[in-house]
Amino acid sequence: MNFFSKENRILLREMVKTDFKLRYQGSFIGHLWSILKPLMLFTIMYLVFVRFLRFDDGTPHYAIGLLIGMVTWSFFSEATNMGMMSIVSRGDLLRKLNFSKEIIVISSVVGASINYAINLIVVFIFAVVNGVPLTVGWLVIFPIFIELFLFSAGIAFLLSTLFVRFRDIGPIWEVVMQAGMYATPIIYSLTFILQRGQETVAKLMMINPLAQIIQDLRHYIVYSGSMRGWDLIGNKWIAMIPYLLPIFIFIIGYYIFHKSAKKFAEIL
């Protein structure tokens, strides 16, 4: 079945709309939680790590850099977690209809993308209020988002395929995400690591596509002095790894998912 057929596009749109409507159904302030949740988390982490533990390395607009890192990580966390559980949660639909199963996972990532877009608007408002100059560099969000979407969708395809057979993947991924958050320069910056003489650690961090994405956003949107992988890694071929990994992971994830999709209804 053609994934890009009109029927599949309509089904994708309806799934995204339904998930978005049901996300905060029954809550008092509804979809305002899409904004309040990352802001509350940002406030806690800012107070703990910047005000009390002094992780601020003196980089201009450090708080905005922290906020853009938090909302980007939140998108990745939401996209992969919702994508992982998407097939299992749609088990009844799989047994009743014949359609491209990839739509279920993609709808979860698209739903997370809507939240990410809302959060980015808040980040940009904070940035302008705090004196971050509005430049053409802000347009980098579009190619970087494509990279982020491919990486998240690829991981989601892999996780959802495994989760159908092995529910232990859920808590394992939760631990991996917790470790990954502290291994990614979100709370701290690369400058903070380099100031402590850990250049090798900083270079290894920048192989991670999420680290590269966050640092690129900080460099082009928040402060041009923020270090990127290109600035840190001398070998251009190694520096290209985090840019190519999302494409590779998406292709591998999609292939494994597509190959296993025919058996999902039987297993569930």
Dump pLDDT digits (tens) for 10-52: 777 878 877 777 666 665 555 666 667 777 777 787 777 667 7
Residue 190 placed within a domain: yes
Q: What is the mean pLDDT of residues 86-104?
A: 79
Number of domains in the chain: 1
- Give tens-digit pLDDT for 199-256: 888 888 899 999 999 999 999 998 877 777 778 887 888 889 999 999 999 999 999 9
Max distance between CA atoms of the chain, in angstroms, equals: 59
Give the pLDDT score at 3.
58
Give the pLDDT score at 94.
75
pTM of the model: 0.88
- Give tens-digit pLDDT for 156-177: 999 999 999 899 999 999 999 9
Q: What is the DSSP letter of 53?
A: S
The CB density around residue 13, as the number of other CB atoms within 10 Å, is 13
Residue 12 placed within a domain: yes
Q: Distance between CA atoms of 19 and 25, rounded to whole angstroms?
A: 10
pLDDT band at 57 (very low <50, low <70, confident <90, very high): low
Give the pLDDT score at 1.
47
> Which residues does 114 contact at the CB level (< 8 Å), separation at least 6?
16, 20
Q: Calculate ∠ Cα 148-257-167, nearest 5°.
A: 95
- Give tens-digit pLDDT for 134-158: 888 889 999 999 999 999 999 999 9
Give the pLDDT score at 192.
79
State yes or no: pLDDT of 2 exceeds 60.
no
Residue 1 placed within a domain: no
List the structure tokens of 121: 């608007």
Q: Are 187 and 59 in contact (CB under 8 A)?
A: no
Give the pLDDT score at 202.
86
Q: Could you list the residue range(s) of the whole structural domain that residue 118 is in?
A: 6-267
